[in-house]
Amino acid sequence: MPELPEVETTCRGISPLLQQQTIKTIHIYQSKLRQPVPENMAQLCQNQKIQEVSRRGKYIILKFSQGGILIHLGMTGHLRVLPSLLDRKKHDHIDVILNNGHVLRYHDPRRFGSWQWLEGPQQLHPSLSKLGVEPLSAKFDGRYLMQVCQQKKLPIKSAIMDNHIVVGVGNIYATESLFLSGIHPLTPAGSLSFDQYKKLSYEIKKVLKKAIEAGGTTLKDFMNPEGKPGYFSQSLYVYGRKNSPCLNCGDIIQSITISGRSTAYCPTCQAG
């Protein structure tokens, strides 16, 4: 389940292997992803030179001199650069073959990901145009969070998971950052104190940065077929710990459903 840190790690991992490389051809074995891969994707990408590999929210962008590819890993997507075309496995859906023989391989069992062609100014693409601020940017702080949550009655957890407000905060890190902030996930978004907005934005940044740092150790694996990049055995305080004792106070971790997502919290540490 790639969240922002995993996507960032993927981006950093594949970037040096793709930069300035030219695409020879693309093999699309399965085009039925979350939305169909454009039929002319391979054609559009042929002989294109990858100028830059970047991330926006949970999207990875391969930029050409004109146009580019917009990749989302969905729930179970992986990108890996391999030395050759050998050893294709089940659920390997797309291969981008470079002139140097290396292969950027997309693997995605659940096919929740997407590959879109990017045309014209990036920021105008429908998938990018409405995205909120980057959580690790200076724009994301207590003041911003307070401003965008004003008058909102939906749970604060739903608000910080809303792409239009802030990108890249999925269920795991939303759950964790609320615990670390001592805020109950059902608290109406508009009713936090300024100190709570500050604390929450700070904890979101902190938990994401920590995860990215942990991911740095797996960067070398992006060129290793046997490696397992992108997933961190990070210590989680509440996520997935339903009915276990709180690591802070010993109370039993509860779980509720918010917007269809399981949400663990400590009734004592997150009372208010």
Partner DNA sequence: CTCAGATCCTGTGCGC
Partner DNA sequence: TGCGCACAGGATCTGA
Helix (H, G, I), strand (E, B) or coil at 48: coil
Determine which one of 55, 56, 58, 157 is catalytic.
58
Residue 5 makes contact with DNA by CB under 7 A: no
Residue 34 makes contact with DNA by CB under 7 A: yes
> Cα separations (Å) of 185 from 162, 230, 251, 254, 270?
14, 27, 17, 11, 8
Residue 49 makes contact with DNA by CB under 7 A: no
Q: Which stretch binds DNA (CB under 7 A): 45-53, 138-146, 153-161, 243-251?
A: 153-161
Q: Which stretch binds DNA (CB under 7 A): 43-51, 94-102, 107-115, 176-184?
A: 107-115
Q: Nearest CA to 73 among 136, 139, 9, 24?
A: 9
Residue 154 makes contact with DNA by CB under 7 A: yes
Active site residue 185: no
Total residues found in the chain within this entry:
272
Instruction: Supply the minimum distance, in Å, between the C-beta of residue 147 and DNA.
Output: 13
Are 52 and 20 in contact by the 8 Å Cβ rule? The answer is no
Residue 233 makes contact with DNA by CB under 7 A: no
Active site residue 58: yes
Candidate list 21, 31, 163, 254; residue touching DNA; CB under 7 A:
163
- DSSP, res 126: H
Binders in 53-72 for DNA, by CB under 7 A:
57-59, 72
Active site residue 49: no
Task: Considering the complex, state which of residue 13 and residue 185 has its C-beta at the smaller distance from DNA.
Answer: 185
Annotate each residue in 115-134 with x if it binds DNA (CB under 7 A) or - if it does not, as one string.
Answer: -----------xx--x----
Q: Count CA within 13 A, CB hemisphere, residue 20.
A: 1
Residue in this structure with the two tokens 């490389």, named with its chain if needed: 21
Neighbours of 13 (CB within 10 A): 25
Instruction: Supply the minimum distance, in Å, between the C-beta of residue 234 and DNA.
Output: 14
Task: Considering the complex, state which of residue 45 and residue 148 has its C-beta at the smaller distance from DNA.
Answer: 148
Residue 10 makes contact with DNA by CB under 7 A: no
Annotate each residue in 189-208 with x if it binds DNA (CB under 7 A) or - if it does not, as one string.
Answer: x-------------------
Residue 262 makes contact with DNA by CB under 7 A: yes
- Separation of alpha carbons 251 and 162, rounded Å: 29
- Separation of alpha carbons 100 and 103, rounded Å: 9
Helix (H, G, I), strand (E, B) or coil at 27: strand
Are 149 and 176 in contact by the 8 Å Cβ rule? The answer is no
* Residues near 253 by beta carbon (within 8 Å), at least 6 away in sequence: 238, 241, 242, 243, 244, 245, 246, 264, 265, 266
Helix (H, G, I), strand (E, B) or coil at 263: strand
List, by residue number, the catalytic residues.
2-3, 58, 261
Residues of this chain that bind DNA (CB under 7 A): 1, 3, 32, 34, 57-59, 72, 74-76, 90-91, 109-112, 126-127, 130, 151-155, 158, 161, 163, 167, 170-172, 189, 239, 259-262
